[in-house]
Every structure is written in C-alpha cells, then in structure tokens.
Structure 1
Amino acid sequence: MKSRLLQLNNSSWLVSALGEQALLIKPQGDKASLQLIHKSCSVIGESSIPGVVDIIPAYESIAIIYDRVLNDLESEIEMLSKAFRNISAENYSPQKHVIPVCYELGPDWEEVENHTGMKRDRIIQIHLAGANTVAMMGFLPGFLYLSGLNEEIACPRKQEPRSQIPAGSIGIGGKQTGVYSLESPGGWQIIGRTPLSFFDVRKDPPTDVRAGDQVVFERILEKEFFTLKDGGA
C-alpha cells in the first residue's frame, strides 16, 4: 500500500501502512507540534473506529493499531475520514499530574553538575520550574518522555548504560526528562526518584497518564519518599 493523504483536525496527514495491521500517519508541511499530535490522538480515540485497539503517539507521528488485517489504503482512509467527520478537538483537556521527587536519591549528580557547570541546588531549582508535557510513552510500559526541560540543564545520556535502574527513577536524557515506571536497564542521567508508580498491569487502563498531559515536579525529602513508597503511593 502506497502513502495517501488524510484530513484530520484541520490538517493534512500522510498515511502509510505499518505492517499488515497498523497505519502510520504524519502531519504534512512544517514540523509537527506536540499539541497537534496530542489533539489528533484525542480525535482518533473518540471516533470509535472499527477494529482499532491502540493509538500510539510519537513526537512527529501517530500509529493506529488494529485487531484485523487492513484492506487497501483508500478504503481504510475513507473509513477514517467518515469517523473523524463529526469529531472536534475542542473538548481536548489534558490532565495535570504532580510528581513528588526525592533528588537526594539521584546517583548521577556529579556528572550532571560537571556537564552543566552548575551546583545541584541550582539544577534542582531549574528542574522544578519546568513546564513539562508528556510527549509520548515508550520504551517500556509506562515510561514517560517529558518535553519542556530547560536547555541549561540538558545532559547527554551515559556512554555506558546501567544494567539496572530502580522503578520511579527520574532522569535527564538530552533535552528531556524521563520517568522510569519499571525497573530496567537505561542510560539516562538519574537525578532523583519518585515513590509513585505509573504502570500497574492489574488496572484497566494500566496507567492514568496520557500523552499530552502536564507534569509538575514537587521536591520531597528522603524520609518522605520512603514513607510514601511504604504506604503504597
């Protein structure tokens, strides 16, 4: 199936097959804004498209996953167009999440201080003042990629990733903040931990956070971290 154009949320999108059971759509023209991506995800989610089981936003595209093998691209686009016709993004309303962070539990402060040329307290002050948006979720379930990091404290990922990073770790990777929902390997510069969990397979849906949501960080002390974590926060 070759690429075709689709009208969505007052914009033109290039549609192409992503395997047999998925479509990839990308805005045409200038570089896609995260706001356009997230509003358009909201429209897709409200459209009740037959067979759609997941909608996955990235920085510049959206993947639409189906539970069936897709037909020819023209008929699939026609179905999408009909579904989008009466749906508006005006009701799009991202949630706000307050994430407590214990910065004393960050093991990479020496590297971050050396790279930025700033003291820890100043870096924390800048990090707390950031306006963060959940740009997307990946590379493991519930991992939050947050845009909005002040470039003054941007840091490259570690040259040698760790084999084990605790769940709840807060890290800097380039111009992003990342939140590790689960214990995993990783190469971000870890500057703190949160006692909150952002993925629970027993819940439906397993996470309350969506791409496009806003995040504010709130500083807590180490004692508060363990009190909240032991309390099942």
Structure 2
Amino acid sequence: MRSRLLQLKNSSWAVSALGEQALLIKPKQDEVSLQLIHESCRIIGESSIPGVVDIIPAYESIAVIYDRVLNDLDSEIEILLKAFQYFSAENHSPQKHVIPVCYELGLDWEEVESHTGMKRDRIIQIHLAGAYTVAMMGFLPGFLYLSGLNEEIACSRKQEPRSQIPAGSIGIGGKQTGVYSLESPGGWQIIGRTPLSFFDVRKDPPTVVRAGDQVVFERIREKEFSAQRGDT
C-alpha cells in the first residue's frame, strides 16, 4: 500500500489509503503515546477539513473517514498538512467522568480472584484507586477501552466468551478495564455494572465520552444502582 510521510505535532506519520473513503495515519516512532494520538485527533477534528465525517483513534493509529471517494492521496495529505500549519492548538484539558459501579453485580468474581490471588475487597480497592484514560472506543458503539489498570489485577479474558453481557457491565480484559455500552456477547471478566448509559442513538451526539477523556470509578451498592436506573 502506497504511503506518504506527514509532519504532525512535531512527529512523522505515515499516511495511506484505507479503502476508498478513509485515510490511515500511523506515527513512525516505535513508542506511541496515547496523548499524542488523542491530541492529534482533536486537532484534525477542530480543523474543519472538508468532507471529514469521523476520526477514529486506536492505540497506535488514527483513521480519518470521509463522506466522499478519495481519488488523490497526495492532495488529501496536503489538505491535512495545511490544516495543521494554520491551526493554533490551545491547551486542552480532557473531560473527567465519574462512573458509579456496583461490584455486587460482577459475574466473574471467582475467576478473577483465582487469577489474581486476591480477595474481592482488595481487587475492588485497587480498581477504585485507578485513574483511567479512554484509550479508544469500539468494538461496539460506545464501548470504552480504558488504559491505566493496575497490573496487579490484570486478568486474561474468558476462554469461552459469554453470548450475552448486560449493558453497563464493567470488565477486565488483559491489562485494560472497560465498559460495555450495550448488551452484547463478550469475553471480558465482568466485575461490576454501572447504571449509566454510554450510547444512545436517539441523542446527538450519541455518546458524551471521547477518546482522551479521564475516568474514575465510584462504588455504589445494588439498591443505589437500581435507583439510578429507575427500576421499579
């Protein structure tokens, strides 16, 4: 796949076509910080580049999605380059989200305790103490991949994924923790559930969380979980 180098945020990025209506941008350096990925996404988004309809960060790349076919890679890269040259980036403070979590609704405590060699209360204490960053969103709309998990409670995914995980479930998958925005199949170890919703197709935007935002967890009991959900 033909690619071209581009200078963004004082770093070299390789830009290549990703299908007919998208560009893939990857930093050339060996170690990529999430801060660099998220700040570059923000600048692209605020540069009002014609035809850009979505900007999707991953751990080591950015996909820029257009509403048109990209016939000339070089001209599209020039547009990106000019946008960065003329855009004056301001200091940006990420939004902070406090997510209530009911650990009593965890589905996989026995497996997590066995894997970590810790009691449930200690795992909860460590999980609550973490300061997390929204690394990216996917594999389903609004799913939050959160970096910053203490490796003491890292836990491998289930060998046999569940066919159904409730919306709002909070799990551990390897060295990450994450939030299931919708009911779906999945293989993460579920340690709790939040009453909050992180994706609603009826709203604009459908989610208020963005990659680069900060997250902390706050413990609630099952009675409060039901009250916040409006259960009768």
- Which bin holds the TM-score, normalised by the shorter protein? over 0.9
1:163-221: CA deviation from partner (whole Å, max 9, x where unpaired):
00000000000000010000000000000000000001011110000000000000000
Partner of 2:86: 86
Q: What residue identity is the alignment partner of 2:134? A: V
CA contact (8 A) 1:9 1:43 kept: no
Distance 2:123 2:28 in 1: 37
Single out whichever of 66-75 and 47-56 deviates more from structure 2.
66-75
Partner of 1:204: 204
CA contact (8 A) 1:131 1:215 kept: yes
Partner of 1:107: 107
Aligned residues: 232
2:16 is aligned with 1:12: no
Identity of matched residues, %: 87
CA contact (8 A) 1:11 1:27 kept: yes
CA contact (8 A) 1:42 1:89 kept: no
Distance 2:216 2:89 in 1: 24
| Deviation at residue 90 of structure 1 after TM alignment | 3.3
Partner of 2:26: 26
Partner of 1:65: 65
CA contact (8 A) 1:51 1:68 kept: yes
1:85-113: CA deviation from partner (whole Å, max 9, x where unpaired):
12244332210000000000001000000
Distance 1:181 1:76 in 2: 34
Partner of 1:151: 151
Distance 1:89 1:97 in 2: 23
Structure-to-structure mapping, 1:107-146, within 5 angstroms:
107-146=107-146
Q: What residue identity is the alignment partner of 2:73? A: L
Partner-residue secondary structure (3-state), 1:7: strand
Distance 2:187 2:89 in 1: 36
Distance 2:29 2:163 in 1: 41
CA contact (8 A) 1:43 1:89 kept: yes
Q: What residue identity is the alignment partner of 2:91? A: N
Partner of 2:53: 53
Partner of 2:96: 96
Partner-residue secondary structure (3-state), 2:86: coil
CA contact (8 A) 1:2 1:73 kept: no
Distance 1:218 1:170 in 2: 12
Partner of 2:180: 180
Runs of 4+ off more than 3 Å: none
TM-score, length-normalised on structure 2? 0.98
| Deviation at residue 8 of structure 1 after TM alignment | 1.1
TM-score, length-normalised on structure 1? 0.97
Unaligned runs of 5+ residues in structure 1 are none
Q: What residue identity is the alignment partner of 1:83? A: A
2:187 is aligned with 1:213: no
2:38 is aligned with 1:38: yes
Distance 1:83 1:128 in 2: 40
Distance 1:136 1:214 in 2: 12
Distance 2:157 2:204 in 1: 33
